[in-house]
Amino acid sequence: MNLVGLVFGAMFGFVLAAGQLHDYDTIHATLRLESFYVFGLMGLAIGISAPLLWFLEKRQLATPYGGVLSLARSKIERHHIYGGSLFGAGWSIAGTCPAPALAMLASGASYGAIAVIGLFIGLVVRDQQLERSNTLITEGDGERSTLPMTKTLGAR
């Protein structure tokens, strides 16, 4: 399964690079509404994947892990708005998000290294905040299960 993940991850990175989604200028032109290229790619991806996932879920496709494909449907809550706003602000400042940052790094763009370091700092800060608040965190899509923080983050 790790090899399959590696192959699909590499293919995804190739698509990001081929589509210039790892290019800082491409992302900033989109966010400044000077170019709608990235919005078009996102719309195309949603337009293809949404009906395909709906069809596969209706047919009760068995996943590689043996379960039935079941997509989560979430109600929009306050933390979704805050999280989306924070993600969007970081995306606009950095000109990248996690997957394109890794594609930047793989393509040799030194800015990608700064973005990836920032991603890991954000993950560490999130873990520390959860430890201080003693909050339960959710696993996966956040709708199906909740685990005690120590089980997911590990005892420190």
Q: Where are the domains of the chain?
A: 2-153
pLDDT in the model for residue 152: 47
Alpha carbons 94 and 24: distance in angstroms, whole number = 8
The per-residue pLDDT of the chain, averaged, comes to: 80
Q: What percent of the residues of the chain are helix, what percent strand, and what percent coil, each to the nearest 5? A: 65, 5, 30
Lowest mean pLDDT: which of 50-59, 98-107, 124-133, 143-152? Answer: 143-152
**pLDDT over 70 percentage in the chain:** 85
Identify whether the C-beta of residue 100 lies closer than 8 Å to the C-beta of residue 125: no
Alpha carbons 68 and 116: distance in angstroms, whole number = 34
Name the residue with higher pLDDT: 144 or 33: 33
pLDDT of residue 65 exceeding 80: no
State if pTM tops 0.75: no
How far is CA 145 from its chain centroid? 19
pLDDT in the model for residue 55: 92
